Amino acid sequence: MTGRHRDGQPYASVYQRVWDGPARAEAERLDQVWSDWTVLYSLGKRSFYAVASWDGPQVVVVEDATSEGLEGRMQEAEMARMVPAAPTPHDGGESPPAEGTTRRRRRGGRAA
Protein backbone atom coordinates (compact mmCIF):
# COMPACT_ATOMS: atom_id res chain seq x y z
CA MET A 1 0.00 0.00 0.00
CA THR A 2 1.28 3.43 -0.79
CA GLY A 3 1.30 6.22 1.72
CA ARG A 4 1.68 4.01 4.78
CA HIS A 5 4.77 3.47 6.86
CA ARG A 6 6.02 -0.06 6.99
CA ASP A 7 8.23 -1.66 9.59
CA GLY A 8 11.86 -1.24 8.70
CA GLN A 9 11.27 1.63 6.25
CA PRO A 10 12.59 5.14 6.98
CA TYR A 11 10.06 7.75 8.03
CA ALA A 12 9.13 10.23 5.39
CA SER A 13 10.36 13.72 6.23
CA VAL A 14 7.96 16.57 5.77
CA TYR A 15 9.11 20.16 5.57
CA GLN A 16 7.56 22.03 8.45
CA ARG A 17 6.99 25.68 7.66
CA VAL A 18 7.14 28.21 10.48
CA TRP A 19 4.69 30.94 9.56
CA ASP A 20 5.90 34.45 10.37
CA GLY A 21 8.83 33.08 12.36
CA PRO A 22 10.59 36.43 12.90
CA ALA A 23 7.39 38.14 14.06
CA ARG A 24 6.58 35.31 16.46
CA ALA A 25 10.13 35.44 17.81
CA GLU A 26 9.80 39.20 18.30
CA ALA A 27 6.54 38.72 20.21
CA GLU A 28 8.25 36.18 22.44
CA ARG A 29 11.12 38.62 23.07
CA LEU A 30 8.70 41.43 23.99
CA ASP A 31 6.82 39.05 26.29
CA GLN A 32 10.04 38.44 28.22
CA VAL A 33 11.10 42.11 28.31
CA TRP A 34 7.72 43.54 29.39
CA SER A 35 6.94 41.65 32.60
CA ASP A 36 3.56 43.35 33.20
CA TRP A 37 2.26 42.37 29.77
CA THR A 38 1.48 39.22 27.83
CA VAL A 39 2.52 39.72 24.21
CA LEU A 40 1.12 37.70 21.31
CA TYR A 41 1.37 37.69 17.55
CA SER A 42 -1.74 36.96 15.49
CA LEU A 43 -1.05 34.96 12.35
CA GLY A 44 -4.53 35.67 11.00
CA LYS A 45 -4.34 39.44 11.41
CA ARG A 46 -0.55 39.69 11.17
CA SER A 47 -0.57 42.02 14.11
CA PHE A 48 1.00 42.22 17.58
CA TYR A 49 -1.18 42.28 20.70
CA ALA A 50 -0.38 42.94 24.35
CA VAL A 51 -2.63 42.30 27.34
CA ALA A 52 -1.80 44.10 30.60
CA SER A 53 -1.60 41.91 33.69
CA TRP A 54 -2.20 44.63 36.28
CA ASP A 55 -5.39 44.92 38.31
CA GLY A 56 -7.90 47.45 37.12
CA PRO A 57 -11.56 48.05 36.40
CA GLN A 58 -11.19 46.77 32.83
CA VAL A 59 -8.81 44.71 30.75
CA VAL A 60 -6.21 46.72 28.84
CA VAL A 61 -5.38 45.36 25.37
CA VAL A 62 -3.27 47.19 22.80
CA GLU A 63 -2.59 46.26 19.17
CA ASP A 64 -0.24 47.37 16.42
CA ALA A 65 1.07 46.04 13.13
CA THR A 66 4.72 46.48 14.20
CA SER A 67 6.57 45.54 17.37
CA GLU A 68 7.90 49.11 17.69
CA GLY A 69 4.39 50.51 17.45
CA LEU A 70 3.16 48.00 20.01
CA GLU A 71 5.85 49.08 22.47
CA GLY A 72 4.77 52.69 22.01
CA ARG A 73 1.16 51.79 22.73
CA MET A 74 2.21 49.81 25.79
CA GLN A 75 4.16 52.82 27.10
CA GLU A 76 1.15 55.09 26.48
CA ALA A 77 -1.11 52.71 28.40
CA GLU A 78 1.31 52.60 31.32
CA MET A 79 1.58 56.39 31.39
CA ALA A 80 -2.21 56.75 31.33
CA ARG A 81 -2.37 54.36 34.26
CA MET A 82 0.09 56.45 36.28
CA VAL A 83 -1.59 59.81 35.68
CA PRO A 84 -4.09 60.45 38.47
CA ALA A 85 -7.70 61.02 37.56
CA ALA A 86 -8.57 64.67 36.97
CA PRO A 87 -10.25 66.33 39.95
CA THR A 88 -13.94 66.99 39.67
CA PRO A 89 -14.88 70.61 38.88
CA HIS A 90 -17.13 70.87 41.94
CA ASP A 91 -16.48 70.27 45.60
CA GLY A 92 -18.47 69.98 48.77
CA GLY A 93 -19.73 66.48 48.06
CA GLU A 94 -22.76 67.55 46.04
CA SER A 95 -23.16 66.00 42.63
CA PRO A 96 -23.60 68.38 39.71
CA PRO A 97 -27.08 68.64 38.19
CA ALA A 98 -27.90 66.18 35.42
CA GLU A 99 -27.72 67.47 31.86
CA GLY A 100 -30.81 69.48 30.97
CA THR A 101 -32.08 69.88 34.55
CA THR A 102 -32.09 72.89 36.84
CA ARG A 103 -31.77 73.08 40.58
CA ARG A 104 -34.43 74.52 42.82
CA ARG A 105 -33.38 77.14 45.30
CA ARG A 106 -34.09 76.67 49.00
CA ARG A 107 -34.87 79.49 51.32
CA GLY A 108 -31.67 81.28 52.08
CA GLY A 109 -30.32 80.99 48.53
CA ARG A 110 -28.73 77.53 48.62
CA ALA A 111 -29.42 75.08 45.80
CA ALA A 112 -31.45 72.01 46.70
Res. 51: pLDDT tops 70: yes
Res. 109: pLDDT tops 70: no
* Sequence-ordered list of residues with C-beta below 8 angstroms from that of 81, at least 6 positions apart, any chain: 54, 56, 60
Q: Which of 32-36, 40-44, 106-110 has the lowest mean pLDDT?
A: 106-110
% of the chain with per-residue pLDDT over 70: 60
* Sequence-ordered list of residues with C-beta below 8 angstroms from that of 87, at least 6 positions apart, any chain: none
pLDDT of residue 5: 60
Residue 86's pLDDT band (cuts 50, 70, 90): low
Q: Over the chain, what is the mean pLDDT?
A: 80
pLDDT of residue 99: 58
**Cα–Cα dist 49/77, whole Å:** 13
pLDDT of residue 100: 57
H or E element in which residue 48 lies: strand 47-52
Res. 72: pLDDT tops 70: yes
Comparing 5 with 41, the larger pLDDT belongs to 41
Comparing 3 with 23, the larger pLDDT belongs to 23
